[in-house]
Amino acid sequence: MSQIFATKTAARADETVEGLRAQLAAVREHVREREARVREREETIRLREARVRELEGEVAALRTGNEARWPEAELTPERVVERLEGWCTPRKAAWLARLVTETGARKIGEVGVYGGRSLLPMALAARGVEGAELWAVEPWSNEAAAASQTSEGNDFWWRNVEMARIRGGFLEAVRACGLSAMVRVVELTSDQARAAFVLDQGEGFDLLHIDGAHGEAQALADVRGWLALVRPGGVIVLDDIGWETVFKARDFLRARCEVIEEVREEGEGLVTYGAYRVMRGV
Ligand SMILES: C[S@@+](CC[C@H](N)C(=O)[O-])C[C@H]1O[C@@H](n2cnc3c(N)ncnc32)[C@H](O)[C@@H]1O
């Protein structure tokens, strides 16, 4: 009798344990779903915060009282770079502008904007294109810029450069060139911005210039990650393909895309960049 009782009790205990396990699995699933939803909302909040900062910048620029537009004659790719902070040479500016017009790019992006020296030439070239938009991905953060290390000198520069001033100069230039309606500032790191674009599931980029972190791991992560966000037939431009830390990123693109052109400018210093056409199914 007591044996039958013990067996029944054990069976009931097993059922209870099974029931609890099922409940636990359901709770875990629920928590996973909630966490995914929280992550999505965090991305949306980040994008909205970035937009608020962009508008604040525009307001601040208007408050300076300097509302004069730059003269139209200065608004050519080669000439505009002379007014901006950054590294893009006049030759590269003209080359980027040509890529915009030759490909008829409408959705254009840049990762690593700094003072806008390479973004503004592309934006000026796209001025006549209906519906053209320029996505400017740049955190303007010393911490983010110094996170991807290249050399002692570079790392020191990125830890100390006055990002707020560079950001202000860029926003002011966008306004002074009459490009505010086209340029969409995404004040996030490359990884954060990419996650937001993936969630957004919008159209792929026609042209994307990658000139953000130059450390080996982040440069590779950038081309790997952003490649999926460029439409087949679209073009990725990668800067500094002559830097050792960028070789892996360059070789990644060489292996998967059609090489349109790789340029080596030898002037005051060596300037290198390449354009790669994204093929279907990469
Ligand atoms: C070489 S500069 C860009 C220069 C600009 N394109 C030009 O031609 O003058 C690199 C920029 O990438 C930005 N950057 C660094 N790490 C980044 C990251 N993880 N995500 C996005 N941008 C980053 C830096 O803040 C810096 O402004």
CATH value at residue 270: 3.40.50.150
Q: Which amino acid is at 162?
A: E
Q: What gap in Å lies between CA 35 and CA 25, rounded to an integer? A: 15
* pLDDT tens per residue across span 37-80: 888 888 778 778 777 777 776 676 666 555 579 999 999 999 99
User: How many structural domains does the chain have?
Assistant: 1
Kindly report the number of other CB atoms within 10 A of residue 252's CB atom. 18
Answer whether residue 60 is part of any domain: no
With the most atoms of ligand 1 within 8 angstroms of its CB, the residue from 110, 138, 187 to mutate is 138
Answer whether residue 63 is part of any domain: no
- Which spans in the chain are helix H? 2-63, 77-80, 90-103, 119-125, 142-147, 152-160, 163-176, 190-200, 216-227, 247-256
Answer whether residue 61 is part of any domain: no
139 lines ligand 1 (CB under 6 A): yes
* pLDDT tens per residue across span 219-265: 999 999 999 999 999 999 999 999 999 999 999 999 999 999 999 99
Residue ranges making up the domain that contains 261: 70-278
Between the CA of 22 and the centroid of ligand 1 the distance, in Å, is: 49
Answer whether residue 33 is part of any domain: no
pLDDT score at 273: 98
* pLDDT tens per residue across span 100-151: 999 999 999 999 999 999 999 999 999 989 999 999 999 999 999 999 988 9
Which atom of ligand 1 lies at the shortest distance from residue 85's CA? Answer: 9
pLDDT score at 94: 98
pLDDT score at 51: 76
Answer whether residue 192 is part of any domain: yes
Q: Are 60 and 168 in contact (CB under 8 A)?
A: yes
Answer whether residue 158 is part of any domain: yes
Answer whether residue 170 is part of any domain: yes
Answer whether residue 272 is part of any domain: yes
Q: Are 46 and 196 in contact (CB under 8 A)?
A: yes
DSSP character string of 127-189: TTSTT-EEEEE----HHHHHHS---HHHHHHHHHS-HHHHHHHHHHHHHHTT-TTTEEEE-S-
250 lines ligand 1 (CB under 6 A): no
Between the CA of 149 and the centroid of ligand 1 the distance, in Å, is: 13
